Structure 1
């Protein structure tokens, strides 16, 4: 299988095997040019600010196209962790209320809720089954005091994909909002904002951008239930009027969660990379990655390894993990041969995107036996 996006357009991919996108993506040459565009815009003074605003809107429009939403449904934060914490503080939870998370969550999806325990909020944790979580596993813990359910679309740990649409269908008959973390899926498989209440993502993984932004998007249906606890000049309708010393009114859309300027260098890069992903086609990227992942899973199993990621295409995305106790050591030994994977949590994770090909899978498989000794 050939790469869907030409490897030569990425800096350094001719010298390594990059199976690391679940942690960070390689640098596309167009992304580097986008940073230069931002720096050039700065030299224009007021005109540069106009260019920033225009690029930010284009970036949000691209993101909206990726998730099936509207640009005004999207706020740009500093990172996904900040976005989740903002939601946790805005949810207006009372003593005796509960939120539900699961054992496959990354710490950014756990810690903001544990911090609410001191306010009397109960945190319910769903166990995984064979490194996956089913919608019914979550729904069994939902009751009248459940105010929010949080889950990742694709697990950072095992690579398992949850049927969040099925989960959301049931949650709409309850008092609970659904917060979906798409950090490990947005940019590589389809994501649908209409099937969740709140969506968050980082910018520097599957979206092929760089550090500096977190995506926070809202389904307008039940979004008004959230009241921001933190307010900045970008959150309000008229931040610079005389009345600002007496009162304020927050925006009616997602901008109410934006405190100040975002990282504009990242905005420029994300505008470029989301445009690239849309032009390539998420459906094509998904098909490419699932075929390549199926190939990798079969070869890992042939090596006798315990693959944690489901073999069924509909239950996975780009992350393929296998259990291994000295995962960090294995990753370090692969790094000596310029094969980039993530090792930790007693598992080795390889991440496949549109720039990967069959040669990358072969390189990993050829190097693995020595790395696992």
Structure 2
């Protein structure tokens, strides 16, 4: 049986990243040696970033630029599509991704510079897309709040996706941004079951806490939506309608979903997680995933990677469309965010 992860972590393993030039394997040489426990403490490194606005041309997402204050994520979601990005830092997508974090401590300075460049054309920025901008580390680093303060001063529109209830801390800024039609917030909802949440995404906010945060933002005029992502066959897909109904009851006006994605090292980590927590249905889960991905663990084609194909994927999409129509969760984009207010703040000229 696979080793269960330490409490509060998503995985117990630390596989080599795909760029590692060498690999080591443990061999029994006959001498007793106590095995070193996996790293559990969170380590934070400081990064001096050259740029903080990332660009993309993906037709599968509704934005062309994003800001990620942190690399790695303490939330520990086993399925996180950002895990493979840790390999670029010669770190493992496994427990390294959850415990060896990198903070872009000069984010505010770089963001102001990039927004102030001549010829910059504003479009909504997605905040915290690769890793959650409201993960626990944000309580002490406050990089996300700094970004919000700058975006408000520049009157720059933004979208936020989070699983963290810490977002309520910044209600003052979000409320002012919303009054100018400059912000929307999507809460990622995966389950209403606290025990499933604990093993699937251990350090995220509890389902009830996320819904309370959604309700609070809605009551203060901040437009909120729900993103049921990922939907995992035979793990949480049965909750789709319940998640959408809970979101509607707490102020959401639109919703989306994503079928589980398993690119690169995530497939190995996810299968190990299945064997540790759901051994009796692991084979069935992986069979349904491969049926939806052309017989493979993952299909990276644009247009297919978010939804999948085949009988299971088609049924999931039909269920989503019916539920959205029944619950009135089809009010898209709230009329769109306003890009016309953008302006570069001018420094007050000295009187001397």
TM-score when scaled to structure 2? Answer: 0.29
**Larger RCO (alpha carbons 8 Å, 6+ apart):** 1
Higher helix share goes to which structure? Answer: 1
TM-score when scaled to structure 1? Answer: 0.27
